[in-house]
């Protein structure tokens, strides 16, 4: 046996474990994806095939649907580990809890955020978005969806072990993610209006950096409180 | 500096109910502490307090003479805790679960060592079966396989380790615990069955 002294070991162990679990239980990823596709597809059916109207609505609809879809699997981020006892083992681990939490958050994003990013160009077709606007959409989702997972991990950590936590979780997390929605959807609107998108991307990037720096530590502290 | 685990005037209140109070005792190397009590007496709460997962309502737990709160890293290395739940991921095999659990505990075992651990637990032929297809007893064995790779951790805290085990597994686990005690390890366990365990110094605590 050798001692695992590198701080990243814990992160990699949790990331690999959660990805492996997600790969063997694909229903979570698929339900997130199907929900995203359904919600986005209902809008063109509901409001009619007016191209100009659809183009105007597209950024908001795609972004709101992505936010709601990434909320779907959030309650289970820590709840499964809590139920099967592995969360206690994480709390007792020799590795820093924040890094373990970060590993879980990354795995959550790969399972529920990244698929949305990859699927979004296909859905953009329904809204008659131009190729360049679709590119802006994909980039904005690529920067924004990790923030949703990071902010979500704080809410999930606070509500782990509570009954009926999923509604409470959405109430906690959705208001905090409003800036992501505004700048994410705003980037596409700005592009459609012929304005520069650098400002929006910079702000999304800033939100991501703040999330990366703060969320794992906040979530770790919240987990210690919740597990009392 | 004193070796071992000390409970200093420990009290636990859950909700408005007081589970225990004024609990003071010391567990030294080679000691076995058996915690008994009726359902709901606070056995699991006590064990979680000893791990630092639950803060005592009053009093404190000392490990090697220092309070738990100031040396979480140290305790993480010295402690092997098996809770009520088996801490297994249903989608993963016993082998993968064993690797992950050991890696989180800070020690990555070699493959032969991990397989030998599962062999001892009687799960060699199920090493790659997803845990959800195992029976209750096999799940418990799978969780306990970690003990064979945890000789380096002096303090074992086991919550109902004999639950769901058959006679052969009982004997295997008893042997593991006795071997650990012989190597100056410390074991704290709760059990409803009165398993005879040979220990030079057995402490009994009834909540």
Chain B partners of A13 at a C-beta cutoff of 8 Å? 100, 103-104
CA distance A108 to chain B (A): 16
Considering only the beta carbons, identify the residue of A21, A89, A228 that sits closest to B101: A89
Q: How many CB pairs (< 8 A) connect A and B?
A: 92
Cβ-based interface (< 8 Å): residues of B facing A? 48, 51-55, 73, 75-77, 79, 81, 83-92, 96, 100-101, 103-110, 113, 130, 149, 152
User: Which residues of chain B, if any, have pLDDT below 50?
Assistant: none
d(CA B162, CA B141): 10
Region of A171 on the Ramachandran plot (φ > 0 left; ψ -120 to 50 alpha; else beta): alpha
User: Would you call A227 and B92 a contact, using CB atoms and an 8 Å cutoff?
Assistant: no
User: Would you call B85 and A85 a contact, using CB atoms and an 8 Å cutoff?
Assistant: yes
A146 touches chain B (CB under 8 A): no
User: Would you call B53 and A17 a contact, using CB atoms and an 8 Å cutoff?
Assistant: no
Q: Which residues contact B130 (CB under 8 A, 6 or more apart)?
A: A24, B90, B91, B92, B93
> Which of B76, B89, B151 to mutate: most A Cβ within 10 Å?
B89
Q: Residues 76..135 of A with a Cβ closer than 8 Å to B: which? A: 83-86, 88-95, 100
Considering only the beta carbons, identify the residue of A3, A85, A91 that sits closest to B106: A3
pLDDT at position A3 is 45
The closest of B128, B118, B53 to B85, measured between CA atoms, is B53
d(CA B203, CA B6): 13
> Which of A93, A103, A226 to mutate: most B Cβ within 10 Å?
A93
User: Would you call A17 and B73 a contact, using CB atoms and an 8 Å cutoff?
Assistant: no
CA distance B105 to chain A (A): 5
Considering only the beta carbons, identify the residue of B53, B109, B130 that sits closest to A227: B53
- The tens digit of pLDDT for each residue in B85-126 reads 888 999 999 999 999 999 888 888 889 999 998 988 888 888
User: Would you call B73 and A91 a contact, using CB atoms and an 8 Å cutoff?
Assistant: no
> Which of B96, B104, B148, B150 to mutate: most A Cβ within 10 Å?
B104
CA distance B149 to chain A (A): 9
CATH code at B57?
3.40.50.300
Query: How far does chain A reach from its first CA to its final CA, in angstroms?
Result: 32
| Domain of B177, in residue numbers | 5-206
Structurally, chain B folds into a number of domains equal to 1
- Chain position carrying tokens 């373990």: A100
User: Would you call B87 and A9 a contact, using CB atoms and an 8 Å cutoff?
Assistant: no
The residue of chain B nearest to residue A87, with distances taken between CA atoms, is: B87
Considering only the beta carbons, identify the residue of B87, B96, B130 that sits closest to A86: B87
pLDDT in single tens digits along all 228 residues of chain A: 444 456 788 899 999 999 999 999 999 899 999 999 999 999 999 988 888 999 999 999 999 999 999 999 899 999 999 999 999 999 988 889 999 999 999 999 999 999 999 999 999 999 989 999 999 999 999 999 999 999 999 999 999 988 888 889 999 999 999 999 999 999 999 999 999 899 999 999 999 999 999 999 999 999 999 888
The residue of chain B nearest to residue A15, with distances taken between CA atoms, is: B100
d(CA A104, CA A111): 10
**Residue-by-residue DSSP string for chain B:** ---SEEEEEEEEEETTEEEEEEEEEEE-TTEEEEEE-STTSSHHHHHHHHHTSS--SEEEEEETTEEGGG-HHHHHHHEEEE-SS----TTS-HHHHHHHHHHHTTEEPPHHHHHHHHHHTT-GGGTTS-GGGS-HHHHHHHHHHHHHT-TT-SEEEEESTTTT--HHHHHHHHHHHHHHHHTT-EEEEE-SS------SEEEEEE-
User: Would you call A88 and B53 a contact, using CB atoms and an 8 Å cutoff?
Assistant: yes
Domains of chain A by residue range: 22-226
The residue of chain A nearest to residue B73, with distances taken between CA atoms, is: A94
pTM of the model: 0.91
Chain A partners of B87 at a C-beta cutoff of 8 Å? 84-86, 88-89
**DSSP E strand stretches across chain A:** 2-3
Cβ atoms within 10 Å, residue B49: 24
pLDDT at position B17 is 86
């Amino acid at each position: 046996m050798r001692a695992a002294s590198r701080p990243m070991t814990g992160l990699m162990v949790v990331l690999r474990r959660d990805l492996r679990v997600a790969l063997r239980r694909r229903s979570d990823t698929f339900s997130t994806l199907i929900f995203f596709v359904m919600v986005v597809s209902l809008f063109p059916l509901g409001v009619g095939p007016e191209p100009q109207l659809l183009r105007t609505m597209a950024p908001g609809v795609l972004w709101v649907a992505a936010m709601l879809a990434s909320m779907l699997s959030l309650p289970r981020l820590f709840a499964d580990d809590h139920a099967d006892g592995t969360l206690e083992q994480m709390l007792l681990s020799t590795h820093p809890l924040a890094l373990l939490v970060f590993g879980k958050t990354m795995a959550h994003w790969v399972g529920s955020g990244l698929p949305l990013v990859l699927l979004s160009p296909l859905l953009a077709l329904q809204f008659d978005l131009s190729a360049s606007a679709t590119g802006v959409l994909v980039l904005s989702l690529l920067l924004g969806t990790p923030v949703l997972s990071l902010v979500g991990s704080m809410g999930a950590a606070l509500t782990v072990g509570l009954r009926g936590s999923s509604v409470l979780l959405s109430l906690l997390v959705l208001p905090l993610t409003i800036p992501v929605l505004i700048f994410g959807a705003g980037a596409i609107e700005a592009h459609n209006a012929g304005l520069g998108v650098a400002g929006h991307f910079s702000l999304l990037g800033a939100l991501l950096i703040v999330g990366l720096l703060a969320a794992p530590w906040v979530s770790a502290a919240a987990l210690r409180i919740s597990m009392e | 500096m004193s070796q071992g685990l000390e409970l200093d005037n420990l009290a636990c209140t859950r909700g408005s109910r007081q589970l225990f109070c004024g609990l003071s005792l010391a567990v030294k190397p080679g000691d076995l502490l058996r915690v008994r009590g009726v359902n709901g007496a606070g056995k699991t709460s006590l064990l979680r307090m000893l791990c630092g997962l639950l803060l005592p309502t009053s009093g404190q737990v000392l490990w090697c003479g220092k309070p738990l709160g100031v040396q979480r890293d140290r305790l993480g290395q010295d402690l092997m805790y098996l809770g009520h739940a088996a801490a297994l991921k249903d989608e993963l095999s016993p082998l993968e679960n064993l690797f992950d659990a050991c890696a989180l505990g800070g020690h990555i075992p070699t493959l032969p060592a991990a397989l030998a651990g599962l062999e001892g637990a009687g799960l060699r032929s199920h090493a790659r079966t997803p845990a959800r297809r195992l029976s209750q007893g096999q799940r418990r064995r799978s969780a306990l396989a970690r003990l064979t790779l945890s000789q380096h951790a002096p303090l074992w805290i086991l919550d109902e380790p004999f639950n769901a085990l058959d006679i052969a597994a009982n004997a295997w686990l008893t042997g593991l615990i006795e071997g650990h005690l012989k190597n100056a390890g410390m074991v704290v366990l709760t059990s409803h069955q009165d398993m005879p365990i040979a220990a030079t110094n057995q402490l009994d605590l009834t909540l």
